[in-house]
Structure 1
Amino acid sequence: MSFISAHVLDASGGRPAVGVAIALKAADGEELGDGVTDADGRVSDLGPDGLTPGDYRVVFGTGRYFADQGQQAFHPEVEVRFTVVAGEQHYHIPLLLSPYAYTTYRGS
């Protein structure tokens, strides 16, 4: 299992969000990994096997996802910033999405 994983659920359709591009970036913007959500709305291998403590961000391509669904969306992308703490084994970042709102939390 990768150190970082993500999951996107499309709340407007009540289903996994398939085909969402996701990028893992360092605080300075360097891209460390990327992926596209699968049939279950997941990317289980997003980046390296470990990260040094510090600030990172995961960027979800939400505008493109909704455009591909034939829908307009308010957010062209969603950026989730988070801090990696020494000693942690895994970070899972879920995103609950609709065309005009989103929510996220630290998953397990």
Structure 2
Amino acid sequence: MNTLSSHVLDTTLGKPAQGIPLTLTHPNGHTVEGITNDDGRFNGWVENSASGFAPGIYTLRFHCQQFLKDNHGKCFYPHIDITFELEEQGGHYHVPLLISPFGFSSYRGS
């Protein structure tokens, strides 16, 4: 079974980015929403898909504009899309995002 979680860290402040809205687009175009918690994490996707995630290409959109404007006064990237592929029986996928007002980075976490 494939599961999915995410974590957003503000590298300028050196702390988790709480309250960032997320949109996950499934391979069939269906979307589900989430929001990062006080620790900048979201792992509620399984609640929306009790049998786990089917293999395929997904896009996770981080709506970071308001957070960055509120915390830094500026935002070059109003949202950040990360597109990734889940494999058959790939296990747990973790998609972390490191953000700042003028840059971002991501990788496959654990």
TM-score, with structure 1 as normaliser: 0.89
Aligned residue number for residue 58 of structure 1: 60
Gaps of 5+ in 1: none
Quote how far apart the aligned CAs of 1:70 are: 5.3
Quote how far apart the aligned CAs of 1:86 are: 0.3
* Structure holding more helix per residue: 2
Q: Is the CA contact (8 Å cut-off) linking 1:3 and 1:48 kept in structure 2?
A: no
Amino acid at match of 2:104: Y
Gaps of 5+ in 2: none
Q: Percent identity?
A: 35
Amino acid at match of 2:12: S
Give the superposed CA RMSD: 1.6
Q: In the comparison of the two structures, how many residue pairs are matched?
A: 106
Provide the rounded CA distance (Å) in 2 between the counterparts of 1:28 and 1:77. Answer: 21
Aligned residue number for residue 9 of structure 2: 9
Task: Give the alignment partner of residue 83 of structure 1, picking from 66, 69, 85.
Answer: 85
For the pair 1:23 / 2:23, whether they are aligned, the reply is yes
Amino acid at match of 1:34: E
Provide the rounded CA distance (Å) in 2 between the counterparts of 1:10 and 1:28. Answer: 31
Quote how far apart the aligned CAs of 1:35 are: 1.2
Q: Is the CA contact (8 Å cut-off) linking 1:63 and 1:77 kept in structure 2?
A: yes
Amino acid at match of 2:88: A
Q: Is the CA contact (8 Å cut-off) linking 1:27 and 1:56 kept in structure 2?
A: yes
Provide the rounded CA distance (Å) in 1 between the counterparts of 2:28 and 2:74. Answer: 30
Cα displacement string for residues 36-82 of structure 1 (whole angstroms, at most 9, x for unaligned residues): 11111100212424121110010001112212335211101000000
